[in-house]
Chain A
Amino acid sequence: MTSFTIQDVRKTFTNGEVEEQVLNGINLSQQQGEITALVGASGSGKSTLLTIAAGLQRASGGQIIFEGKNMTDMTQEEIRKIRASQFGFIFQSSHLVPFLTVEDQLMLMLNVSETKMSKRAQKEEVMKILKLVGMDHRKDAYPASLSGGEKQRVAIGRAIIHKPKMLFADEPTASLDSTRSKDVMTLIRKLTKELNITTLLVTHDEEMLSYADHVITMKDGLIIE
């Protein structure tokens, strides 16, 4: 079943009198439980496409259809609600909240997504996800005391704790060494399949492409294969 569709998406940046066309009409469909990887050289538009798809910036034209609704027609508040409850984000740097423990990072996401759960049920859910990402033993640790790989595992936990339908990952392994990158990608693949999430990720690491179901190569704002 198609759960996420990008139709003829265009993006133009204006710098003074100069207009730069970053995306030139992108079409893309994604199925539930599949990972689609966007690859391409710097400036090809892959990160711009990811952020537009994730509702973090507006497209200049085209449509983004999520669960039958056109996100480009939605208000900022409607998009925020979707980001909070239906989307999960993994960033290049883990971007954890420095003053929250590992457990609190995940609790925060449950609160943001307004999950209807008792406090006790929330804690149990957090522990379940921490076990899933292998971080339950560090639940009381602050981000400053975690390694890069551990931080990224917590970030993944935060991205999926509220059972999102879409997972957006922007270079999730860029700050990790080869072994940890493989661990993180294995984890993302496992969660995508187990939780039936639709994952769109940007990477420039060719080794990571083996974890994706589809690979889309971009160049000059267009999909070339």
Chain B
Amino acid sequence: MNMAWKEIKKSKAKFVILGSIIFLVSFLTFIISGLANGLSQDNAALIKNLPAGHFYMNEQANETYNMSKIDPSAQEKILQEHKDSAALSIQMGFVNDTEDKQHGVAFVTSTESPLFENVKPGEIVLDRSLEKDGIQVGDVLTNNQFSGEFKVIGFADQKKYSHSPVAFIHMDNYKEMYRVNTMQLLFIPGQDQPQTIDGLQSFSIKQFLNTIASYSAEQLSLNMIIWFLVAISGMLFAIFFYMMNVQKIGLYGILKAIGVKTSTLFRMMWAQMFFITAIALILSVALSQGFNTIAPEGMPFSLTMGTTLQLSILFVIIGFIGATLSGLQIRKVEPLQAIQQGDV
């Protein structure tokens, strides 16, 4: 006989209250996770979407890529050794469109590589978000640090850096604009372990992302909120089941007196926990995925089914631990204590 289900049916209100709280907390966690992921994409899609590999920058750059200068001879040697590697530079700037409207961009230039958009001098490829701002293929863009003009030859998807759309330009144009003769970074894809190169410091993609000040600060805060919410939901389970168990001490004692196993009482509590969590999570997953599709266009929101499932599993585990910890008192219940009490 399913006592767990019968209790839920008889005491709907208290289980609906717990379920609602779990639903709200999990929904909020999913939304914040979507925002964290969205902001992360918005901040560094250019880097995040690269294949696994390692970045290298000058040791004297103090882990700040725009202070890095790669020695041209070292660069040449690495590019020769690793055919699929690339040297690249990134600088924040802006372009003016045909109507002289300014658009903030992250200028990116690289040596010839399939990992980045390759353009000829005077050409530019932009992140697709600028297409929505009215820029079209064939438009001519200008920049006050550049003597010539950029002709838009295409758009690339998911190329953002530091919350700005990326503008891929040719190395010669970049060097003219920023009065430099060296590249800032080297990227070697497909390396499980970094290579030791004299004068250069290596960074995995994750390590490199953390050198971007805005990225690490942003993600740290959002991830902290997510973990707090997960911890809060675990505590909610523990507190709720603790209070419910305290109320039922007498009942547990009587059930033990008539021969019910302690493990049966635990299974009853776990079944209730799983049932409530499942309903709450199904609702919050459905709503958060719904929100994913209707989120306003400007809102950096990205919630994948994988992330949702991972968080859902985490909620179930946390709920299980919370309920089990609170349920430890069931083991201590003495049947005699319950019999000496009044009615349950």
Whether A associates with B in a native complex is: yes
Instruction: Identify the A interface with B (CB < 8 A).
Output: 51, 56-57, 80-81, 83-85, 87, 89, 91-100, 104, 107-109, 111-113, 142, 158, 170
Question: Smallest distance from the beta carbon of A7 to chain B beta carbons, Å?
Answer: 22
Question: Smallest distance from the beta carbon of B15 to chain A beta carbons, Å?
Answer: 11
- Known interface pairs A56-B335, A97-B3, A112-B258; 13 further A-B residue pairs with C-beta atoms within 8 A, sorted by A's residue number: A51-B339, A56-B336, A83-B258, A84-B259, A91-B339, A93-B343, A94-B343, A95-B251, A96-B344, A97-B254, A100-B6, A108-B1, A108-B3
A96 to B343, CA, bound (A): 8
Contact of A104 with B254 at beta-carbon distance under 8 Å, contacts A95-B338, A99-B11, A112-B260 already known: no
Question: Smallest distance from the beta carbon of A5 to chain B beta carbons, Å?
Answer: 22
Does B114 sit within 8 A of A, measured CB to CB?
no
Question: Smallest distance from the beta carbon of B11 to chain A beta carbons, Å?
Answer: 6
CB nearest to A50 among chain B residues: B339
| 12 residue pairs from A and B, CB less than 8 Å apart | A56-B257, A83-B257, A84-B258, A94-B343, A95-B250, A95-B254, A97-B254, A99-B7, A99-B9, A104-B1, A113-B259, A170-B339
A108 to B1, CA, bound (A): 7
Question: Please, which residues of chain A bring their CB within 8 A of the CB of B336?
Answer: 51, 56-57
Does B10 sit within 8 A of A, measured CB to CB?
yes
Question: Please, which residues of chain B bring their CB within 8 A of the CB of A98?
Answer: 10, 251, 344
A158 to B6, CA, bound (A): 18
Partner of A99, one of B10, B256, B335, B339: B10
Does B261 sit within 8 A of A, measured CB to CB?
yes
Question: Please, which residues of chain B bring their CB within 8 A of the CB of A99?
Answer: 3, 6-7, 9-11
A216 to B151, CA, bound (A): 109
What are the 8 A-B residue pairs with the smallest beta carbon separation, nearest first? A84-B259, A99-B10, A93-B343, A95-B254, A83-B259, A99-B7, A112-B259, A56-B336
Does B205 sit within 8 A of A, measured CB to CB?
no
Question: Smallest distance from the beta carbon of B10 to chain A beta carbons, Å?
Answer: 4
Which residues of B (302-344) have their CB < 8 Å from a CB of A?
A: 335-336, 338-339, 342-344
CB nearest to A170 among chain B residues: B339
B191-214 contact mask (Cβ, 8 Å, vs A): 1 or 0: 000000000000000000000000
Question: Please, which residues of chain B bring their CB within 8 A of the CB of A91?
Answer: 254, 339
Does B255 sit within 8 A of A, measured CB to CB?
yes
Question: Smallest distance from the beta carbon of B9 to chain A beta carbons, Å?
Answer: 8
Decide: B255 and A97 in contact? CB cutoff 8 A: yes
How many residues of chain B get a CB closer than 8 Å to chain A's CBs? 24
Question: Please, which residues of chain B bring their CB within 8 A of the CB of A111?
Answer: 1
Question: Smallest distance from the beta carbon of A62 to chain B beta carbons, Å?
Answer: 18
Partner of A89, one of B1, B10, B11, B258: B258
CB nearest to B344 among chain A residues: A95
Decide: A107 and B1 in contact? CB cutoff 8 A: yes
A158 to B258, CA, bound (A): 9
Decide: A95 and B343 in contact? CB cutoff 8 A: yes
A96 to B257, CA, bound (A): 12
Question: Please, which residues of chain A bring their CB within 8 A of the CB of B11?
Answer: 99
A111 to B254, CA, bound (A): 15
A94 to B250, CA, bound (A): 12
Decide: B10 and A142 in contact? CB cutoff 8 A: yes
Decide: B258 and A109 in contact? CB cutoff 8 A: yes
CB nearest to B5 among chain A residues: A99
CB nearest to B341 among chain A residues: A93
Question: Please, which residues of chain A bring their CB within 8 A of the CB of B257?
Answer: 56, 83, 89
CB nearest to B342 among chain A residues: A93
Question: Please, which residues of chain A bring their CB within 8 A of the CB of B344?
Answer: 93, 95-98
Partner of B259, one of A80, A107, A170: A80
Question: Please, which residues of chain A bring their CB within 8 A of the CB of B10?
Answer: 98-99, 142
Question: Smallest distance from the beta carbon of B104 to chain A beta carbons, Å?
Answer: 62
Question: Please, which residues of chain A bring their CB within 8 A of the CB of B335?
Answer: 56
A51 to B340, CA, bound (A): 11
A104 to B2, CA, bound (A): 10
CB nearest to A151 among chain B residues: B343
Question: Please, which residues of chain B bring their CB within 8 A of the CB of A89?
Answer: 257-258
Question: Smallest distance from the beta carbon of B147 to chain A beta carbons, Å?
Answer: 82
Question: Please, which residues of chain B bring their CB within 8 A of the CB of A170?
Answer: 339
Question: Smallest distance from the beta carbon of A118 to chain B beta carbons, Å?
Answer: 14
Contact of A56 with B259 at beta-carbon distance under 8 Å, contacts A91-B254, A104-B1, A108-B3 already known: no
CB nearest to A86 among chain B residues: B259
Contact of A100 with B258 at beta-carbon distance under 8 Å, contacts A56-B335, A142-B10 already known: no
Decide: B1 and A85 in contact? CB cutoff 8 A: no
Question: Please, which residues of chain B bring their CB within 8 A of the CB of A84?
Answer: 258-260
